[in-house]
Amino acid sequence: MIIKNYNCQRFAGIKDKNIDFKDGMNVILGKNESGKSTLIEGIHAVLFKSIKNDRRLTADSEFQRKFRPLPDGDVFDGELVLIGDNGEYRISRVWSGEPSIQMITPQNDKIVNEGTIDEILQQILLFGEGTYSNILFSKQDQIREALHNMTGDIETVNEVSTLLQRAVMEMDGVPIDELESRIDTEIEGLLKRWDREKNYPENNRGIHNPYKTGIGEVLASYYKKEGLRLEMEEALARQLNFDEICSSLKDLEKEYSEKKDELQAMEEIEEDVTARLQMEPLLGQYEKDLGLLMKINIEWPKNEEKLEQIEKALKTMGEEYNKLEEEKIRAARIQEKEALQKRIGRLIELQGRIEVKQKELESTKEITPEDMDKLEEYQREMHSLAAKMQAGTMFGQLIHYSGEGDLYMIKDLEEPVLLEEGTEFKADAFLRLESDTISLEIKTGETDFNELRNQYENNKRDMEKTLLELGAAGIKEARSKKESRDHLSRELSLEKKQLMDLLEGDTLKDLEEELQGYGELSGVRKLPAIEAAIKDIDKEKIELLAAKINAENSIAEWSKEYGNLEGLLDKIVEVKMAQKQSIEKLSGLAPLPEGYESAVQFRRRLGELRQASGEMQALFLKLKEDYYKSESALPITPYEELEKEMQQAEEDFVHKMAQAKKLLKIKEVFRETRQAIDEDSFKPLAGAFSRYVKLLTRGSFKSGEVENDFALRLAKNNDTEIPMDLLSTGTYGSVALALRLAILEHILGDHKGFMILDDCLVDLDPDRKKSAADLIKDFAVRHQVIFTTCDPETAELLGGNLIQIQAG
């Protein structure tokens, strides 16, 4: 599995990135703060970071804080194209207020369920998130943490150990079963019915739905403290309720006394205020009528003058409208001509593209599905023959040879090699020893291995001949050429159809002649500008007509009511006389108290006081009743005593939990002691690690060991072991790189994979950097490497596909 492409619209500080990766070496070159590390974080997030966000979780909160592109927005995303054994997988994730996820499989199936997508990723990625984070994605500035994670992360160690076929040893002869049983019994007695993961009772059965029997000491202690907590809450609530009722009674008595005095004073002048209440609306109506009459007296002559002006404006507007309609007809002809010109231009461009693709298609060698079937059949037959040759395994060593001439050995499908005394060898199913005096053939069964070898060579020769005829170096290249030619053919057909659709039954010559028929059209504004001018006139005309109707309606209404302006003046004098008489009557009544602007306001307040007085009396009786009930409901045990019991119960619960944690730790240590790892399974890893350490440190260390628990040991030439914490930064980086390469060499095997290195050569001296670069390039021959650096010299040293990125 390798990475073909990564793109995102926005992820933290990077945006609108679209980067293609190739098989083998890829070097991302950019200055510091240009987004190299953020880009790697983006790739990791698309592979493993859920779109679900729980801000209560530290990891989710940190992810949002680190990569959400605020203040510019709250949406960030990423998309990866992965190439697996059976084709391309395209996966995209969006982390935002409306998160989304999508995968397109090699079969072009679309999947949007995150659980299903994660299951597919787990299958095609081979390893878990821990292995990728600690081995394939670790950063150079976290090299010590990365090395610690590679050797200390449980998930990574277990997964790598499993891949290295870790064998678990039995502790033979040690009577530990009884001890394990006792530990389990103690843990059961403490933690029965307690969910350790949630740190809460099993099945969420808290104090409101407790287990009655069959519980451990931790849960019993939890129920006791939670029960006391509920009692404390109830006691406190009752005490507060009693205090609140007492306070309410006191406040109510004070308020009732104040309102009673105010009510008595207002009732003494209630009769005069009632009379005032009848007079005030009449005065208000006189004031309103006078205002309306005076306004009409001003507006009447103004509306008559406005009507004359509107009539003149409407006449001028009609003449201008006719001119614009004539100009609109000519502008429409110009628009039709421009559309035809664009259509002809598109036809000429499309015809040119079709001619280029037709020539390209004719010059490309056709590869048929039958050709591909033939190649795949050759390959399957070769795999089958190779599998038959691997029917068993033979080991041997040439102890002594005294025959004449050199002794040669032929193994399985390999070429003859010279065999010398002391040489150890291994063959799967077939072995032949030949010299001038001896010819010995050994095989693991009755199969004719010479015939199998001949068949293998024939199939290999036929496949190479077919590939030569097709002009391809391998099946993958042949398939790629076939897909490219098929794609070109489909594009050509599509563009021919587009050409026919665009012509719509005409010919290019017909369209060019039609264009000539339009002649010269100039000096006319664009159609939108003319239409906008017509629209402005229409809008202005509507406004004028509306104003005309309003003015005419107003004059008609006033004429009906008052006859003419003289009749309006007589009505104004009549209303003023009536107003004067009402004011004289009102002056003889008692004035309103201070703070009241009208009799209506006074009457409203008087009604409110009477209603409030009655309500207060009823409320007083209710509060008295609540007072006696609340007093009788006060708790027997005071809140302070319950608080002391609660504190003791809390301490007991913490003590029980500490006991349980100690027992669980004992059990963990017990299991770790009981489970040992077979040392032989780590020998290949230790050998590769030692070899890489020696190369990368230029011989400063002669060996490196990997213990069963992935603890690392380094020895110098004088056999002195050096603790990891005492290594320099450069040496530490070399050790981490050596371990990563050694692990990947074994867990990847024949599977193609990828590794991401974040400038892991920055702290190395020139000699070590050259050795490390050679190892990385050798790894890139078999797998994909993505290397980030800010140093152009390092990029040149590594070579491969160079990807330059800029900041921002």
Question: What pLDDT band is residue 117 in, cutting at 50, 70 and 90?
Answer: very high
> Would you call 600 exposed, middle or buried from its count of C-beta atoms within 10 A (0-12, 13-18, 19+)?
middle
Q: What is the pTM of this model?
A: 0.40
Strand partners, 440: 433
pLDDT given at position 445: 66
Question: What pLDDT band is residue 40 in, cutting at 50, 70 and 90?
Answer: very high
Omega of the bond leading into 71 within 30 degrees of 0 (cis): yes
Q: What digits encode the pLDDT tens for the residues 383-402? A: 887 777 766 677 788 888 88
More confident residue, 724 or 599: 599
Instruction: Report the C-alpha gap between 52 and 216 in whole angstroms.
Output: 35
Q: What digits encode the pLDDT tens for the residues 674-694? A: 564 444 445 666 666 767 776
Instruction: Report the C-alpha gap between 731 and 594 in whole angstroms.
Output: 93
pLDDT of residue 799 exceeding 90? yes
Instruction: Report the C-alpha gap between 182 and 228 in whole angstroms.
Output: 33
Bin 35: left if φ > 0, else alpha if -120 < ψ < 50, else beta.
Answer: left
Instruction: Report the C-alpha gap between 486 and 493 in whole angstroms.
Output: 11
Measured in Å, how far apart are the chain's first and last C-alpha atoms?
Answer: 30
Instruction: Report the C-alpha gap between 339 and 570 in whole angstroms.
Output: 71
> Would you call 278 exposed, middle or buried from its count of C-beta atoms within 10 A (0-12, 13-18, 19+)?
exposed
Supply the DSSP string of 748-759, one letter for each residue.
HTTS--EEEEES
Instruction: Report the C-alpha gap between 371 and 367 in whole angstroms.
Output: 6
Contact between 92 and 77 under an 8 Å Cβ cutoff? The reply is yes
Question: What pLDDT band is residue 724 in, cutting at 50, 70 and 90?
Answer: low
Q: What digits encode the pLDDT tens for the residues 197-220? A: 899 999 999 999 999 899 999 989
pLDDT of residue 526 exceeding 90? no
More confident residue, 270 or 673: 270
Q: What digits encode the pLDDT tens for the residues 747-783? A: 787 788 999 998 788 878 888 888 888 889 998 999 9
Of 520-534, 610-624, 794-808, the one with minimum mean pLDDT is 520-534
Supply the DSSP string of 448-489, one letter for each residue.
-HHHHHHHHHHHHHHHHHHHHHHT-SSHHHHHHHHHHHHHHH
- Which range of 204-213, 243-252, 306-315, 337-346 scores highest in mean pLDDT? It is 204-213
Within 8 A by CB and 6+ apart from 760, the residues are: 140, 143, 733, 736, 737, 772
